[in-house]
A and B are shown apart, each in its own frame.
Chain A
Amino acid sequence: MTENPEKSENPEKSMEPENPEKSMESEKSVEAVEPVGTRRPEIRIRDLHKSFGDNQVLRGIDLDIAQGEVVCVIGPSGSGKSTLLRCVNLLEEPTRGQVFVGGTEVTDPDVDIDAVRRRIGMVFQQFNLFPHLTVTENLTLPQRRVLKRDKARAAKAAAENLERVGLSEKAGAYPSSLSGGQQQRVAIARALAMGPRVMLFDEPTSALDPELVGDVLAVMRMLADEGMTMMVVTHEMAFAREVADRVVFMDGGVIVEDGTPERVIGDPAHERTRHFLSRLLDPARAQVEEERNQGLTGGSP
Chain B
Amino acid sequence: MTDPTAQPAPTGASAFEVQPKKKGLTRRQKRGLSRGVQYAVFVAAVAALAVAADWDRLRNQFARPDIAERMFPEVITLALQNTVLYTVSGFTVGLALGMVIALMRLSSVGPYRWLAGIYIEIFRGLPALLIFIFIGVAVPLAFPGTEIIGGTYGKVALALGLVAAAYMAETIRAGIQAVPKGQMEAARSLGFSPARAMISIIIPQAFRIILPPLTNELVLLFKDSSLVLFLGVTLAERELSKYGRDLASTTANSTPILVAGLCYLLVTIPLGFVVRRMEAKAQEAVK
Binding site for B on A (CB under 8 A): 89, 91, 114-115, 117-118, 120-122, 124, 126, 128-132, 141-142, 145-147, 176, 187, 190-191, 194
Q: Which residues of B contact A142 (CB under 8 A)?
A: 187, 190-192
Q: Are B182 and A128 in contact (CB under 8 A)?
A: yes
Q: Mark B36-50, 1 if CB is under 8 A from A, else 0.
A: 000000000000000
Instruction: Give A179 Cβ to nearest chain B Cβ, in Å.
Output: 17
Contacting residue for B192 out of A126, A146, A191, CB 8 A:
A146
Docked Cα-Cα span, A122 to B190, in Å, equals 8
Q: Across the A-B interface, how many residue pairs have beta carbons closer than 8 Å? A: 59
Which of B58-66, B196-204, B250-258 is the interface stretch? B196-204
Main secondary structure of the interface of B (DSSP, over half): helix
Nearest Cβ distance between residue B73 and chain A, in whole angstroms?
42
- Please judge, given known A-B contacts A124-B182, A126-B182, whether A117 and B188 are in contact too, CB under 8 Å: yes
Does B189 lie at the interface of the complex (its beta carbon under 8 Å from any beta carbon of A)?
yes
Q: B186–A128 contact, CB under 8 A?
A: yes
A56 to B186: give the CA distance in the assembly, Å: 25
B-side interface residues, number (CB < 8 Å): 19
> Which one of A128, A131, A145, A176 lies within 8 Å of B200 (CB-CB)?
A145
Task: Judge whether A117 and B191 touch: CB under 8 Å.
Answer: yes
Most chain B beta-carbon contacts within 10 A, residue among A91, A121, A142, A190 = A142
A147 to B192, CA, bound (A): 9
Note all chain B residues with C-beta closer than 8 A to A121. Answer: 189
Among A126, A176, A194, contact of B190 (Cβ-Cβ < 8 Å): A194
Q: Is the CB of A89 within 8 A of B196?
A: no
- Residue of B with least CB distance to A116: B191
Give B contacts to A, CB under 8 Å.
Answer: 180, 182-183, 185-193, 196, 200-201, 204-205, 208, 285
CB pair B189–A117 under 8 Å, yes or no, is: yes
Q: How far is the CB of A122 from the nearest CB of chain B, in Å?
A: 4
> How far, in whole Å, are A176 and B186 apart by their CA atoms in the complex?
17
Contact of A130 among B185, B201, B285 (CB under 8 A): B201
Q: A91 with B182: in contact, given A132-B204, A145-B196, A145-B200 (CB under 8 Å)?
A: no
Complex-state Cα separation, A115 to B190, whole angstroms: 9
Interface CB pairs A-B, < 8 A, 25:
A89-B189, A114-B188, A115-B191, A122-B186, A122-B189, A124-B182, A126-B180, A128-B182, A128-B185, A128-B186, A129-B186, A130-B186, A130-B187, A130-B205, A132-B205, A141-B200, A142-B190, A142-B192, A145-B192, A145-B196, A146-B190, A146-B196, A191-B190, A194-B190, A194-B191
User: Closest CB-CB distance, A30 to chain B, in whole Å?
Assistant: 28
User: How distant is B175 from chain A, measured CB to nearest CB, in Å?
Assistant: 13
A114 touching B193, Cβ below 8 Å: yes
Which of the residues B182, B187, B192, B208 comes within 8 Å of A132, measured between beta carbons? B208
Candidate in A91, A115, A121, A130 with the most chain B CB atoms within 10 angstroms: A130
Is there an interface contact between A118 and B191, defined as CB atoms closer than 8 Å? yes
A-chain residues with CB within 8 Å of residue B200 when the two chains form the complex: 141, 145
6 nearest A-B pairs in the assembled complex, by CB-CB distance: A128-B186, A118-B191, A122-B189, A128-B182, A142-B190, A146-B191
A242 CB → nearest B CB, Å = 27
Q: Within 8 Å CB of A129, what residues of B? A: 186
Contact residue among A91, A131, A146 (Cβ-Cβ distance under 8 Å from B185): A91
Given contacts A130-B201, A132-B205, contact A114 B191 (CB under 8 A): yes
Residue of A nearest to B197 (CB): A145
- B280 to nearest A CB, angstroms? 17
Residues in A with CB closer than 8 Å to B192 are 114, 142, 145-146
Instruction: Assess the A124–B208 pair: CB atoms within 8 A.
Output: no
> Measured between alpha carbons, how far is A89 from B285 in the docked complex, in Å?
33
Residue from the set B187, B188, B189, B193 with the largest chain A CB neighbour count within 10 Å: B189
Contact B205 A131 (CB under 8 A): yes
Q: Which residues of A contact B183 (CB under 8 A)?
A: 128, 130
Interface centre among B186, B192, B285 (most CB of A within 10 A): B186
With both chains docked as a complex, state the minimum distance between the C-beta of A85 and any C-beta of chain B, in angstroms: 11
- Between B186, B187, B190, B200, the greatest number of chain A beta carbons within 10 A of the residue's beta carbon is seen for B190
CB closest chain-B residue, reference A190: B190
A-side contacts of B186, CB under 8 Å: 122, 124, 128-130, 187
Chain A residue, CB-CB nearest to B184: A128
B-chain residues with CB within 8 Å of residue A132 when the two chains form the complex: 204-205, 208
A184 CB to nearest B CB, Å: 12
Closest chain A residue, CB of each to CB of B285: A176
